Structure 1
Amino acid sequence: MHFFRTFALPLVAVAMLPFDSRAAASLMVDDASTTDAGRCQLESWGRHTDAGGEWTAVPACTLAGTEWSLGITHQQAASSTQWALGAKRVLRDIDQRRWGLALSAGVGSDRQHLRSDDWGINAPVTIALGATDRALLHLNVGWAQADGARGRTDGIGMEIATAPGWSLLAETARDAARQRSSQFGMRRELWPGASVDLLAGRVHHQRDGHWITLGVNFAAAP
Protein backbone atom coordinates (compact mmCIF):
# COMPACT_ATOMS: atom_id res chain seq x y z
CA MET A 1 0.00 0.00 0.00
CA HIS A 2 2.85 2.38 0.74
CA PHE A 3 4.32 1.74 -2.71
CA PHE A 4 0.94 2.43 -4.33
CA ARG A 5 0.49 5.73 -2.48
CA THR A 6 4.00 6.76 -3.50
CA PHE A 7 3.68 6.16 -7.23
CA ALA A 8 -0.05 6.18 -8.05
CA LEU A 9 -0.34 9.87 -8.93
CA PRO A 10 2.74 10.00 -11.22
CA LEU A 11 1.77 6.80 -13.03
CA VAL A 12 -1.81 7.92 -13.66
CA ALA A 13 -0.58 11.29 -14.94
CA VAL A 14 1.70 9.78 -17.58
CA ALA A 15 -0.52 6.84 -18.54
CA MET A 16 -2.66 9.13 -20.71
CA LEU A 17 0.32 10.58 -22.65
CA PRO A 18 2.18 9.09 -25.65
CA PHE A 19 5.77 8.26 -24.81
CA ASP A 20 8.70 9.86 -26.61
CA SER A 21 12.44 9.30 -26.76
CA ARG A 22 13.78 11.24 -23.77
CA ALA A 23 13.67 10.76 -20.00
CA ALA A 24 15.69 12.53 -17.34
CA ALA A 25 17.05 11.43 -14.00
CA SER A 26 15.93 12.59 -10.54
CA LEU A 27 19.30 13.49 -9.01
CA MET A 28 20.83 16.16 -6.76
CA VAL A 29 23.27 17.31 -9.47
CA ASP A 30 21.60 18.68 -12.59
CA ASP A 31 22.80 18.15 -16.15
CA ALA A 32 23.10 20.70 -18.97
CA SER A 33 20.14 19.46 -20.99
CA THR A 34 16.37 19.89 -21.18
CA THR A 35 13.43 18.01 -22.58
CA ASP A 36 13.20 18.28 -26.38
CA ALA A 37 11.35 21.33 -27.70
CA GLY A 38 7.59 20.88 -27.51
CA ARG A 39 7.93 17.76 -25.36
CA CYS A 40 7.15 16.95 -21.73
CA GLN A 41 8.56 14.63 -19.10
CA LEU A 42 7.69 13.47 -15.62
CA GLU A 43 10.23 12.64 -12.93
CA SER A 44 8.84 10.89 -9.85
CA TRP A 45 10.45 9.17 -6.93
CA GLY A 46 9.79 7.74 -3.50
CA ARG A 47 12.42 8.12 -0.80
CA HIS A 48 12.72 6.28 2.51
CA THR A 49 14.74 8.23 5.08
CA ASP A 50 15.54 7.70 8.74
CA ALA A 51 12.81 10.26 9.51
CA GLY A 52 10.17 8.56 7.33
CA GLY A 53 8.99 8.42 3.74
CA GLU A 54 8.45 11.12 1.15
CA TRP A 55 7.39 11.21 -2.48
CA THR A 56 7.96 13.72 -5.25
CA ALA A 57 6.51 14.36 -8.71
CA VAL A 58 8.05 16.90 -11.13
CA PRO A 59 6.31 17.35 -14.49
CA ALA A 60 8.19 19.56 -16.97
CA CYS A 61 7.66 20.82 -20.53
CA THR A 62 9.91 22.76 -22.91
CA LEU A 63 8.29 25.77 -24.56
CA ALA A 64 9.93 28.74 -26.30
CA GLY A 65 13.38 27.24 -25.71
CA THR A 66 12.91 27.00 -21.94
CA GLU A 67 12.00 24.02 -19.79
CA TRP A 68 9.30 24.85 -17.23
CA SER A 69 8.70 22.58 -14.24
CA LEU A 70 6.42 22.28 -11.22
CA GLY A 71 7.56 20.03 -8.38
CA ILE A 72 5.42 18.73 -5.51
CA THR A 73 6.98 16.92 -2.52
CA HIS A 74 5.06 15.37 0.37
CA GLN A 75 6.88 14.42 3.57
CA GLN A 76 4.93 11.90 5.62
CA ALA A 77 6.81 12.38 8.90
CA ALA A 78 6.18 16.13 8.99
CA SER A 79 2.82 15.80 7.20
CA SER A 80 3.86 18.70 4.97
CA THR A 81 3.80 19.41 1.24
CA GLN A 82 6.20 21.70 -0.61
CA TRP A 83 5.99 23.15 -4.12
CA ALA A 84 8.70 24.44 -6.46
CA LEU A 85 8.54 26.29 -9.79
CA GLY A 86 11.55 26.08 -12.07
CA ALA A 87 12.85 27.34 -15.42
CA LYS A 88 15.90 26.04 -17.31
CA ARG A 89 17.52 27.06 -20.58
CA VAL A 90 20.39 25.47 -22.49
CA LEU A 91 23.10 27.96 -23.51
CA ARG A 92 25.43 25.46 -25.20
CA ASP A 93 24.10 22.12 -26.53
CA ILE A 94 26.23 19.09 -25.67
CA ASP A 95 24.63 17.09 -28.49
CA GLN A 96 26.54 19.26 -30.97
CA ARG A 97 29.78 19.68 -28.96
CA ARG A 98 31.86 17.95 -26.31
CA TRP A 99 30.40 19.95 -23.44
CA GLY A 100 27.17 21.72 -22.63
CA LEU A 101 26.07 24.62 -20.43
CA ALA A 102 22.65 25.56 -19.03
CA LEU A 103 21.18 28.07 -16.60
CA SER A 104 18.29 27.35 -14.24
CA ALA A 105 16.33 29.22 -11.59
CA GLY A 106 13.59 28.23 -9.19
CA VAL A 107 11.35 29.36 -6.32
CA GLY A 108 9.44 27.31 -3.78
CA SER A 109 7.71 27.16 -0.42
CA ASP A 110 5.20 25.26 1.69
CA ARG A 111 1.78 24.72 0.11
CA GLN A 112 0.18 26.95 2.76
CA HIS A 113 2.19 29.96 1.55
CA LEU A 114 1.80 31.51 -1.89
CA ARG A 115 4.84 33.71 -1.27
CA SER A 116 8.03 31.84 -2.12
CA ASP A 117 10.40 31.54 0.84
CA ASP A 118 13.09 29.54 -0.97
CA TRP A 119 14.84 30.37 -4.23
CA GLY A 120 17.95 29.41 -6.15
CA ILE A 121 19.94 29.80 -9.35
CA ASN A 122 22.23 27.16 -10.81
CA ALA A 123 24.60 26.74 -13.75
CA PRO A 124 24.94 23.07 -14.80
CA VAL A 125 27.84 21.99 -17.03
CA THR A 126 28.01 18.56 -18.67
CA ILE A 127 31.25 17.22 -20.17
CA ALA A 128 31.47 14.10 -22.33
CA LEU A 129 34.50 12.03 -21.34
CA GLY A 130 36.17 9.85 -23.93
CA ALA A 131 35.43 9.34 -27.59
CA THR A 132 32.44 7.04 -27.03
CA ASP A 133 30.48 9.38 -24.71
CA ARG A 134 29.84 6.47 -22.35
CA ALA A 135 30.81 8.65 -19.37
CA LEU A 136 29.36 12.08 -18.55
CA LEU A 137 30.66 14.48 -15.91
CA HIS A 138 28.15 16.94 -14.45
CA LEU A 139 29.27 20.07 -12.59
CA ASN A 140 26.97 22.52 -10.78
CA VAL A 141 27.59 25.90 -9.17
CA GLY A 142 24.91 28.26 -7.90
CA TRP A 143 23.42 30.32 -5.10
CA ALA A 144 20.32 29.54 -3.02
CA GLN A 145 18.20 30.39 -0.01
CA ALA A 146 16.47 27.49 1.70
CA ASP A 147 15.14 26.87 5.22
CA GLY A 148 16.56 30.17 6.44
CA ALA A 149 20.07 29.51 5.12
CA ARG A 150 21.64 31.37 2.22
CA GLY A 151 24.85 30.62 0.38
CA ARG A 152 26.71 29.07 -2.51
CA THR A 153 25.72 25.64 -3.76
CA ASP A 154 27.81 23.18 -5.77
CA GLY A 155 27.83 19.62 -6.97
CA ILE A 156 29.67 17.05 -9.06
CA GLY A 157 28.23 13.89 -10.55
CA MET A 158 29.20 11.01 -12.84
CA GLU A 159 27.04 8.98 -15.20
CA ILE A 160 28.73 5.91 -16.69
CA ALA A 161 27.12 3.51 -19.19
CA THR A 162 28.32 0.05 -18.18
CA ALA A 163 26.13 -2.15 -20.42
CA PRO A 164 23.24 -1.70 -22.85
CA GLY A 165 20.42 -0.12 -20.84
CA TRP A 166 22.44 0.13 -17.59
CA SER A 167 24.27 3.11 -16.07
CA LEU A 168 26.12 3.79 -12.82
CA LEU A 169 25.34 7.05 -11.00
CA ALA A 170 27.45 8.80 -8.36
CA GLU A 171 27.29 12.36 -7.06
CA THR A 172 27.96 14.70 -4.17
CA ALA A 173 26.46 18.16 -3.58
CA ARG A 174 26.54 20.99 -1.05
CA ASP A 175 23.43 23.02 -0.19
CA ALA A 176 22.95 26.61 0.97
CA ALA A 177 23.51 25.58 4.60
CA ARG A 178 26.96 24.20 3.63
CA GLN A 179 25.71 20.65 4.31
CA ARG A 180 27.15 18.04 1.95
CA SER A 181 25.25 14.97 0.78
CA SER A 182 26.27 12.09 -1.49
CA GLN A 183 24.52 9.21 -3.19
CA PHE A 184 25.36 6.27 -5.44
CA GLY A 185 23.24 3.92 -7.50
CA MET A 186 22.19 2.70 -10.91
CA ARG A 187 19.72 3.42 -13.68
CA ARG A 188 17.90 0.94 -15.88
CA GLU A 189 16.36 2.04 -19.16
CA LEU A 190 13.05 0.19 -19.54
CA TRP A 191 12.40 1.37 -23.08
CA PRO A 192 13.20 4.59 -25.00
CA GLY A 193 11.74 7.37 -22.88
CA ALA A 194 11.39 5.46 -19.61
CA SER A 195 13.88 4.56 -16.88
CA VAL A 196 14.14 3.50 -13.25
CA ASP A 197 16.72 4.76 -10.74
CA LEU A 198 17.75 3.04 -7.51
CA LEU A 199 19.96 5.15 -5.22
CA ALA A 200 21.38 5.03 -1.70
CA GLY A 201 22.60 8.24 -0.09
CA ARG A 202 23.53 10.01 3.09
CA VAL A 203 24.02 13.44 4.60
CA HIS A 204 27.63 13.71 5.76
CA HIS A 205 28.31 14.12 9.49
CA GLN A 206 24.71 13.27 10.38
CA ARG A 207 24.01 9.96 12.08
CA ASP A 208 20.37 9.66 10.96
CA GLY A 209 20.85 11.15 7.48
CA HIS A 210 20.60 8.01 5.30
CA TRP A 211 18.08 7.31 2.55
CA ILE A 212 17.12 4.96 -0.27
CA THR A 213 15.41 6.33 -3.40
CA LEU A 214 13.42 4.58 -6.13
CA GLY A 215 12.76 6.86 -9.10
CA VAL A 216 10.55 6.33 -12.14
CA ASN A 217 11.08 8.73 -15.07
CA PHE A 218 9.04 9.14 -18.26
CA ALA A 219 9.19 11.37 -21.31
CA ALA A 220 6.00 12.12 -23.20
CA ALA A 221 4.66 14.23 -26.03
CA PRO A 222 2.32 17.08 -24.94
Structure 2
Amino acid sequence: MKDNQRTRTIRRPRTAWLLAAACSLASTGAQAAGHFDVDDAGTLDPGQCQYEAWWGRTGPEPVNGLHIGPSCRVGPVELGLNLDRFSAAGMHSVVAGPQVKWNFFGAAADAPLSAALSLGAAFDLTRGGRAGGQFVLPLTWRPTSSLQIHANLGADWATGTGARTPRGGLAAEWALDDKVSLIAERSRAAGVWASRIGGRFSLTPLISVDISASRTGPQGVRGFVVGLNHEFAWK
Protein backbone atom coordinates (compact mmCIF):
# COMPACT_ATOMS: atom_id res chain seq x y z
CA MET A 1 0.00 0.00 0.00
CA LYS A 2 1.24 3.44 -0.82
CA ASP A 3 0.72 5.51 1.21
CA ASN A 4 -0.70 20.08 0.10
CA GLN A 5 -1.78 24.42 1.21
CA ARG A 6 -1.87 27.63 -0.57
CA THR A 7 -4.34 30.51 -0.62
CA ARG A 8 -3.68 34.22 -0.75
CA THR A 9 -5.48 36.63 1.55
CA ILE A 10 -9.13 36.62 0.56
CA ARG A 11 -10.71 38.30 3.56
CA ARG A 12 -8.41 39.37 6.34
CA PRO A 13 -10.48 37.92 9.24
CA ARG A 14 -10.81 34.63 7.35
CA THR A 15 -7.17 34.16 6.31
CA ALA A 16 -6.17 31.88 9.20
CA TRP A 17 -8.92 29.33 8.76
CA LEU A 18 -8.64 29.40 4.96
CA LEU A 19 -4.98 28.45 5.31
CA ALA A 20 -5.92 25.79 7.82
CA ALA A 21 -8.60 24.48 5.48
CA ALA A 22 -6.19 24.27 2.55
CA CYS A 23 -3.69 22.45 4.78
CA SER A 24 -6.38 19.93 5.68
CA LEU A 25 -6.88 19.11 2.01
CA ALA A 26 -3.28 18.51 1.01
CA SER A 27 0.40 19.33 1.40
CA THR A 28 3.10 20.55 -0.98
CA GLY A 29 4.25 17.65 -3.14
CA ALA A 30 2.98 14.18 -3.87
CA GLN A 31 2.02 11.70 -1.22
CA ALA A 32 2.41 7.97 -1.72
CA ALA A 33 -0.28 7.71 0.95
CA GLY A 34 -2.83 9.03 -1.52
CA HIS A 35 -4.54 12.09 -0.07
CA PHE A 36 -3.52 11.28 3.50
CA ASP A 37 -1.08 13.78 5.03
CA VAL A 38 1.33 11.29 6.62
CA ASP A 39 3.34 9.43 3.96
CA ASP A 40 4.65 5.88 4.26
CA ALA A 41 8.19 4.82 3.43
CA GLY A 42 7.24 2.59 0.49
CA THR A 43 7.85 3.22 -3.19
CA LEU A 44 6.56 1.63 -6.35
CA ASP A 45 8.14 -1.60 -7.54
CA PRO A 46 10.51 -1.47 -10.55
CA GLY A 47 8.56 -1.17 -13.81
CA GLN A 48 5.43 0.13 -12.08
CA CYS A 49 3.56 3.44 -12.37
CA GLN A 50 0.52 4.87 -10.64
CA TYR A 51 -1.72 7.89 -10.64
CA GLU A 52 -3.48 9.40 -7.68
CA ALA A 53 -6.49 11.65 -8.06
CA TRP A 54 -8.58 13.18 -5.30
CA TRP A 55 -11.18 15.85 -4.63
CA GLY A 56 -11.78 17.48 -1.27
CA ARG A 57 -13.89 20.15 0.38
CA THR A 58 -13.40 21.82 3.74
CA GLY A 59 -14.63 24.78 5.77
CA PRO A 60 -17.97 26.61 5.75
CA GLU A 61 -17.32 28.81 2.70
CA PRO A 62 -15.78 26.30 1.51
CA VAL A 63 -12.26 25.59 0.17
CA ASN A 64 -12.25 23.02 -2.68
CA GLY A 65 -9.17 21.06 -3.75
CA LEU A 66 -8.48 18.88 -6.78
CA HIS A 67 -5.29 16.83 -7.22
CA ILE A 68 -3.84 14.72 -10.02
CA GLY A 69 -0.47 13.04 -9.48
CA PRO A 70 1.15 10.48 -11.79
CA SER A 71 4.40 8.77 -10.74
CA CYS A 72 6.70 5.97 -11.95
CA ARG A 73 9.60 3.96 -10.60
CA VAL A 74 12.76 4.96 -12.48
CA GLY A 75 15.86 3.09 -11.38
CA PRO A 76 16.19 3.30 -7.58
CA VAL A 77 13.74 6.20 -7.15
CA GLU A 78 10.10 7.06 -7.67
CA LEU A 79 9.52 10.18 -9.80
CA GLY A 80 6.23 12.05 -9.68
CA LEU A 81 4.49 15.13 -11.03
CA ASN A 82 1.74 16.91 -9.09
CA LEU A 83 -0.98 19.27 -10.21
CA ASP A 84 -3.24 20.84 -7.58
CA ARG A 85 -6.05 23.37 -7.86
CA PHE A 86 -7.50 25.10 -4.80
CA SER A 87 -10.45 27.50 -4.87
CA ALA A 88 -12.27 29.55 -2.24
CA ALA A 89 -14.57 32.58 -2.23
CA GLY A 90 -14.38 32.99 -6.00
CA MET A 91 -10.56 32.82 -6.12
CA HIS A 92 -8.31 29.94 -7.11
CA SER A 93 -4.69 28.81 -7.16
CA VAL A 94 -3.04 26.24 -9.43
CA VAL A 95 0.20 24.69 -8.17
CA ALA A 96 2.38 22.15 -10.01
CA GLY A 97 5.77 20.57 -9.46
CA PRO A 98 7.95 17.44 -9.50
CA GLN A 99 8.69 15.07 -6.64
CA VAL A 100 11.30 12.36 -6.06
CA LYS A 101 11.21 9.64 -3.40
CA TRP A 102 13.97 7.20 -2.49
CA ASN A 103 13.60 4.26 -0.15
CA PHE A 104 17.09 3.81 1.31
CA PHE A 105 16.30 1.22 4.02
CA GLY A 106 13.92 -1.71 4.22
CA ALA A 107 12.72 -1.78 0.63
CA ALA A 108 11.00 -5.18 0.91
CA ALA A 109 7.21 -5.03 1.17
CA ASP A 110 7.26 -6.96 4.46
CA ALA A 111 10.33 -5.26 5.99
CA PRO A 112 9.67 -4.58 9.71
CA LEU A 113 11.25 -1.11 9.44
CA SER A 114 11.53 1.11 6.37
CA ALA A 115 12.86 4.62 5.74
CA ALA A 116 12.82 6.96 2.74
CA LEU A 117 13.62 10.50 1.62
CA SER A 118 11.09 12.61 -0.29
CA LEU A 119 11.83 15.93 -2.02
CA GLY A 120 9.28 18.04 -3.87
CA ALA A 121 9.08 21.43 -5.59
CA ALA A 122 5.91 23.47 -6.13
CA PHE A 123 5.28 26.41 -8.48
CA ASP A 124 2.23 28.63 -8.13
CA LEU A 125 1.19 28.90 -11.79
CA THR A 126 -1.55 31.39 -10.97
CA ARG A 127 0.90 33.94 -9.60
CA GLY A 128 3.92 33.94 -11.89
CA GLY A 129 5.39 30.58 -10.96
CA ARG A 130 6.45 31.49 -7.44
CA ALA A 131 8.37 28.55 -6.03
CA GLY A 132 8.08 26.53 -2.85
CA GLY A 133 8.99 23.03 -1.79
CA GLN A 134 8.98 20.20 0.71
CA PHE A 135 11.41 17.78 2.36
CA VAL A 136 10.11 14.75 4.28
CA LEU A 137 11.69 11.75 5.98
CA PRO A 138 8.98 9.03 6.06
CA LEU A 139 9.43 6.04 8.40
CA THR A 140 7.27 2.90 8.54
CA TRP A 141 7.22 0.29 11.31
CA ARG A 142 5.30 -2.97 10.88
CA PRO A 143 4.77 -4.53 14.32
CA THR A 144 2.37 -7.12 12.83
CA SER A 145 1.36 -8.21 9.35
CA SER A 146 -1.87 -6.18 9.58
CA LEU A 147 -0.63 -3.04 11.35
CA GLN A 148 1.68 -0.29 10.09
CA ILE A 149 2.82 2.82 11.97
CA HIS A 150 4.00 5.75 9.82
CA ALA A 151 5.98 8.75 11.08
CA ASN A 152 7.03 11.84 9.13
CA LEU A 153 9.55 14.56 9.88
CA GLY A 154 10.42 17.41 7.54
CA ALA A 155 9.72 20.96 6.41
CA ASP A 156 7.72 23.00 3.89
CA TRP A 157 8.80 26.14 2.04
CA ALA A 158 5.87 28.40 1.12
CA THR A 159 5.45 29.41 -2.50
CA GLY A 160 6.52 33.02 -3.07
CA THR A 161 7.92 33.92 0.36
CA GLY A 162 10.05 30.82 0.86
CA ALA A 163 9.11 30.85 4.55
CA ARG A 164 10.04 27.54 6.15
CA THR A 165 7.73 25.73 8.55
CA PRO A 166 8.26 22.33 10.18
CA ARG A 167 6.17 19.34 9.12
CA GLY A 168 5.53 16.15 11.05
CA GLY A 169 2.97 13.52 11.79
CA LEU A 170 2.09 10.06 13.02
CA ALA A 171 -0.38 7.60 11.49
CA ALA A 172 -1.68 4.10 12.13
CA GLU A 173 -2.86 1.89 9.25
CA TRP A 174 -4.74 -1.28 10.14
CA ALA A 175 -5.64 -3.82 7.44
CA LEU A 176 -8.90 -5.55 8.33
CA ASP A 177 -8.36 -7.87 5.36
CA ASP A 178 -6.82 -7.67 1.88
CA LYS A 179 -9.54 -5.23 0.72
CA VAL A 180 -10.18 -2.80 3.60
CA SER A 181 -7.76 -0.74 5.70
CA LEU A 182 -8.51 1.85 8.37
CA ILE A 183 -6.21 4.87 8.73
CA ALA A 184 -5.98 7.45 11.52
CA GLU A 185 -3.42 10.24 11.67
CA ARG A 186 -2.36 13.38 13.49
CA SER A 187 -0.12 15.84 11.64
CA ARG A 188 1.20 19.41 11.68
CA ALA A 189 1.94 21.56 8.60
CA ALA A 190 2.28 25.34 8.17
CA GLY A 191 1.94 25.70 11.94
CA VAL A 192 -1.50 24.05 11.99
CA TRP A 193 -2.46 20.73 13.60
CA ALA A 194 -4.89 18.40 11.81
CA SER A 195 -6.53 15.08 12.60
CA ARG A 196 -7.81 12.74 9.90
CA ILE A 197 -9.54 9.38 9.94
CA GLY A 198 -10.62 7.29 6.99
CA GLY A 199 -10.27 4.11 5.02
CA ARG A 200 -8.79 2.59 1.90
CA PHE A 201 -10.93 0.16 -0.09
CA SER A 202 -9.32 -2.07 -2.73
CA LEU A 203 -11.55 -2.57 -5.77
CA THR A 204 -8.87 -4.74 -7.40
CA PRO A 205 -5.27 -5.56 -6.35
CA LEU A 206 -4.14 -2.42 -8.27
CA ILE A 207 -7.07 0.00 -7.84
CA SER A 208 -8.22 1.49 -4.55
CA VAL A 209 -10.49 4.25 -3.26
CA ASP A 210 -9.68 6.45 -0.24
CA ILE A 211 -12.26 8.29 1.85
CA SER A 212 -11.51 10.43 4.91
CA ALA A 213 -12.83 13.17 7.18
CA SER A 214 -10.64 15.75 8.95
CA ARG A 215 -10.62 18.44 11.65
CA THR A 216 -8.01 21.19 11.35
CA GLY A 217 -6.73 23.98 13.57
CA PRO A 218 -8.01 25.28 16.93
CA GLN A 219 -11.38 26.06 15.32
CA GLY A 220 -11.81 22.45 14.28
CA VAL A 221 -12.46 23.20 10.60
CA ARG A 222 -14.12 20.12 9.13
CA GLY A 223 -13.40 18.59 5.72
CA PHE A 224 -13.61 15.44 3.68
CA VAL A 225 -11.72 13.95 0.74
CA VAL A 226 -12.42 11.17 -1.78
CA GLY A 227 -9.51 9.74 -3.77
CA LEU A 228 -8.69 7.16 -6.44
CA ASN A 229 -5.37 5.30 -6.77
CA HIS A 230 -4.43 3.13 -9.76
CA GLU A 231 -1.16 1.24 -10.18
CA PHE A 232 -0.08 -0.29 -13.50
CA ALA A 233 2.98 -1.68 -15.32
CA TRP A 234 4.79 0.58 -17.79
CA LYS A 235 7.19 -2.00 -19.18
TM-score (norm 2): 0.78
Query: Does the CA-based 8 Å contact 2:152-2:170 persist in structure 1?
Result: yes
Aligned identity (percent) is: 29
Query: Does the CA-based 8 Å contact 2:85-2:92 persist in structure 1?
Result: yes
The root-mean-square deviation of aligned C-alpha atoms, in Å, is 1.8
Query: Does the CA-based 8 Å contact 1:181-1:202 persist in structure 2?
Result: yes
5+ residue gaps, structure 2, are 1-31
Partner of 1:66: 77
Mapping 1:61-140, distance limit 5 Å? 61-77=72-88, 78-92=91-105, 93-95=107-109, 97-112=111-126, 115-130=129-144, 133-140=145-152
1-side partners of 2:117 and 2:213: how far apart? 27
2-side partners of 1:41 and 1:32: how far apart? 16
Q: 1:76 and 1:153, CA in 2 relative to 1: closer, same or farther beyond 3 A?
A: closer
2-side partners of 1:90 and 1:164: how far apart? 24
1-side partners of 2:48 and 2:128: how far apart? 28
Mapping 1:175-194, distance limit 5 Å? 175=189, 177-194=190-207
5+ residue gaps, structure 1, are 1-22
Residue 36 of structure 1 is aligned with which of 45, 65, 74? 45
2-side partners of 1:145 and 1:99: how far apart? 28
TM-score (norm 1): 0.82
Q: 1:79 and 1:178, CA in 2 relative to 1: closer, same or farther beyond 3 A?
A: closer
2-side partners of 1:114 and 1:59: how far apart? 24
Q: Secondary structure at the match of 2:176?
A: strand
Query: Does the CA-based 8 Å contact 2:33-2:40 persist in structure 1?
Result: no
Deviation above 3 Å: which 4+ runs of structure 1? 112-116
Q: 1:183 and 1:120, CA in 2 relative to 1: closer, same or farther beyond 3 A?
A: same
Q: Secondary structure at the match of 1:163?
A: coil
1-side partners of 2:158 and 2:219: how far apart? 19
2:77 alignment partner AA: T
Higher RCO (Cα < 8 Å, 6 or more apart): 1
Equivalenced residue count is 196
1-side partners of 2:212 and 2:231: how far apart? 20
Query: Does the CA-based 8 Å contact 1:32-1:94 persist in structure 2?
Result: no
Partner of 1:25: 34
Residue 157 of structure 2 is aligned with which of 116, 124, 145? 145
How far did 1:151 drift? 2.5
List per-residue Cα deviations over 1:129-150 (Å, max 9, x = no partner).
12xx100000110122125441
